[in-house]
């Protein structure tokens, strides 16, 4: 009998992280209910949005080019519409030179 393997998060990944906000219209500042992983994505989105506000010269298009992450992917992450993968977060951290993932060290994302 073949063992079934399930990804961490299971069915939780069928809904976007924003859907776990008590008030999705307040994303990324809304309170998250019931899904700890959505709170992590919310922190990443919050930190990314703050970095972009602090650098008005850095557009989504420019960040996409610097990070090798698609502009739409960055926009979806900011909107809470998608679950980012580790490589995406690492590339964004390296391009920005700051940690987005709670507890990460942006300088350690050295390889793709």
pLDDT interval class at 101 (50, 70, 90): confident
Q: What percent of the chain has pLDDT over 70?
A: 80
Rounded Cα gap, residues 57 and 55, in angstroms: 5
Tokens at 43, concatenated: 């922190």
The average confidence (pLDDT) of the chain is 86
- Between 2-6, 22-26, 60-64, 82-86, the lowest mean confidence (pLDDT) is in 2-6
For the chain, the first-to-last Cα distance in angstroms comes to 36
| Contact predicate 76/82, CB 8 Å | yes
The verdict on pTM exceeding 0.85 is no
């Amino acid at each position: 009998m073949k063992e079934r393997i399930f990804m961490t998060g299971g069915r939780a990944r069928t809904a976007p992280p924003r859907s776990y906000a008590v008030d999705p219209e307040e994303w990324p500042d809304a309170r998250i209910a019931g899904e700890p992983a959505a709170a992590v994505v919310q922190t990443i989105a919050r930190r990314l949005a703050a970095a972009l506000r602090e650098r008005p010269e850095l557009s989504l298009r420019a960040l996409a080019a610097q990070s090798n992450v698609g502009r739409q992917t960055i926009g979806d992450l900011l909107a809470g519409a998608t679950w980012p993968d580790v490589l995406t977060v690492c590339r964004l951290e390296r391009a920005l030179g700051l940690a987005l993932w709670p507890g990460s060290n942006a300088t350690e994302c050295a390889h793709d």
